[in-house]
């Protein structure tokens, strides 16, 4: 018996999860009741939130463009396109399967070795985790999460370790690369190439950190404000909820479309931070925020794919005409 193509299977899985998600929402809330809070938010606020997410994507594209010297200096838009497509695929595919697109596209569009591109991807995700963990550690250390017994200590210890991990890895990058490059064997060679995707100068590390913090700062400020309005809680509590939702997409525990896992991540930090006893409105707000994030990312990813493909075809045709 011949198995279905993996792409078809992935789309069918996504459609099944989406249908189940839609049924659960309609059964427990009703879509009309769920979407009602959007009528209380000014359209300019929603547009600013979308602009914040798009600005975050642009900063991420800039981070790749400046960090990887093998990328041509006129290819910033291609870097942005790569980020948008990779982000969209990560949201719709389960278990971070969409991450495969990053090294594949880096090799296809820029000729960068797959192992090195995978190392760059690992570094970027570690930086993302660094930002989220640092914010969580600061909140836990300040006692903001102390409403849940023992949570602040657990969060602080884990977040503090994650926060400093990029600095430690960057410091060890050169000796580790030399050690693996000197060894024989395919695995050692792949690890050495992957380590080449990490910054090799303090200035490069500082630039990566600056762009990462800027990208997350813009995004979390926008999403935190919207979630705060949707849940009728403070912007700080909303920002923590947004962090929880995004953590579910950074970690390798991600359902197709993020349906369920995004809401669980958002609620994990939003509920204790807000101090609200009734969880129903908070969960509804998390669902609405997820719909905003998902819709924006998928539309941006689709446009990046279509517009990029059209410009590539036009470029090829112009070369043929010459």
Give the least confident one: 57-71, 168-182, 255-269. 255-269
> Does 227 have pLDDT greater than 80?
yes
State what percent of residues in the chain have pLDDT above 90: 22
Question: 319 pLDDT band (50/70/90 cuts)?
Answer: very low
**Tell me, what's the pLDDT at 45?**
84
> Does 315 have pLDDT greater than 50?
no
Question: 86 pLDDT band (50/70/90 cuts)?
Answer: very high
Give the least confident one: 76-80, 155-159, 172-176, 184-188. 155-159
**Tell me, what's the pLDDT at 53?**
92
Tell whether 106 is covered by a domain. Answer: yes
Tell whether 129 is covered by a domain. Answer: no
Question: 321 pLDDT band (50/70/90 cuts)?
Answer: very low
Question: 3 pLDDT band (50/70/90 cuts)?
Answer: very low
Which tokens sit at 37? Answer: 């809070």
Q: Mean of the per-residue pLDDT values for the chain? A: 79
For residues 119 and 312, the model is more confident at 119
User: pTM for the complete prediction?
Assistant: 0.79
b/e code 289-318 from CB counts within 10 Å (16+ = b): bbbbbbebbbebbeebeeebeeeeeeeeee
- State how many domains the chain has: 1
**Tell me, what's the pLDDT at 192?**
84
Question: 311 pLDDT band (50/70/90 cuts)?
Answer: very low
- What are φ and ψ of residue 31, in 5° steps? -65, -35
Question: 11 pLDDT band (50/70/90 cuts)?
Answer: low
Tell whether 47 is covered by a domain. Answer: yes
pLDDT tens, residue by residue, 94-107: 667 788 899 999 99
Tell whether 122 is covered by a domain. Answer: no
Cα 294 to Cα 266: distance, rounded to the nearest angstrom: 14
Question: 140 pLDDT band (50/70/90 cuts)?
Answer: low
b/e code 70-101 from CB counts within 10 Å (16+ = b): ebeeebbebbbbbbbbbbbbbbbbbebbbbeb
**Tell me, what's the pLDDT at 30?**
61
Question: 4 pLDDT band (50/70/90 cuts)?
Answer: very low
Name residue, tokens 């024989």: 184
**Tell me, what's the pLDDT at 89?**
86
**Tell me, what's the pLDDT at 318?**
39
Average pLDDT over residues 154-168: 76
pLDDT tens, residue by residue, 28-44: 556 665 566 667 678 88
Average pLDDT over residues 73-80: 92
Tell whether 147 is covered by a domain. Answer: no
Sign, CA torsion 83/85/91/96? negative
Tell whether 113 is covered by a domain. Answer: yes
For residues 174 and 218, the model is more confident at 218
Domain hosting residue 246, numbered range: 37-117+202-316
Tell whether 246 is covered by a domain. Answer: yes
Cα 171 to Cα 159: distance, rounded to the nearest angstrom: 20
> Does 240 have pLDDT greater than 70?
yes
Tell whether 24 is covered by a domain. Answer: no
């Amino acid at each position: 018996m011949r198995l279905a193509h993996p792409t078809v299977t992935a789309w069918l899985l996504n459609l099944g999860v989406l249908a189940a998600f839609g049924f659960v929402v309609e059964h427990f809330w009703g879509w009309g009741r769920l979407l009602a809070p959007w009528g209380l938010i000014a359209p300019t606020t929603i547009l600013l939130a979308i602009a914040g997410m798009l600005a975050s994507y642009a900063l991420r594209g800039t981070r790749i463009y400046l960090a990887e010297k093998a990328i041509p200096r006129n290819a910033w838009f291609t870097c942005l396109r790569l980020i948008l497509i990779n982000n969209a695929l990560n949201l719709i595919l389960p278990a971070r399967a969409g991450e495969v697109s990053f090294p594949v596209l880096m090799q296809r569009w820029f000729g960068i070795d797959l192992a090195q591109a995978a190392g760059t991807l690992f570094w970027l995700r570690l930086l993302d985790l660094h930002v989220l963990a640092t914010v969580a550690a600061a909140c836990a250390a300040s006692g903001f999460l102390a409403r849940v017994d023992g949570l602040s200590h657990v969060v602080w210890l884990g977040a503090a370790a994650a926060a400093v991990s990029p600095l430690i890895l960057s410091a060890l990058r050169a000796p580790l690369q030399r050690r693996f490059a000197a060894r024989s064997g395919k695995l050692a060679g792949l690890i050495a190439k992957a380590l080449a995707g990490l910054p090799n100068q303090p200035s490069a590390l500082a630039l990566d950190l600056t762009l990462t913090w800027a990208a997350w700062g813009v995004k979390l400020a926008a999403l935190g404000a919207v979630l705060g309005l949707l849940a009728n809680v403070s912007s700080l509590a909303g920002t923590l909820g947004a962090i929880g939702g995004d953590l579910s997409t950074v970690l390798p525990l991600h359902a197709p479309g993020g349906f369920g896992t995004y809401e669980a991540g958002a609620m994990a930090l939003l509920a204790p931070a807000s101090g609200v006893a009734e969880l129903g409105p908070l969960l509804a707000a998390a669902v609405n925020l997820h719909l905003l994030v998902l819709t924006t990312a998928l539309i941006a990813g689709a446009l990046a794919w279509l517009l990029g493909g059209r410009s590539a075809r036009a470029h090829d045709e112009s070369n043929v005409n010459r």
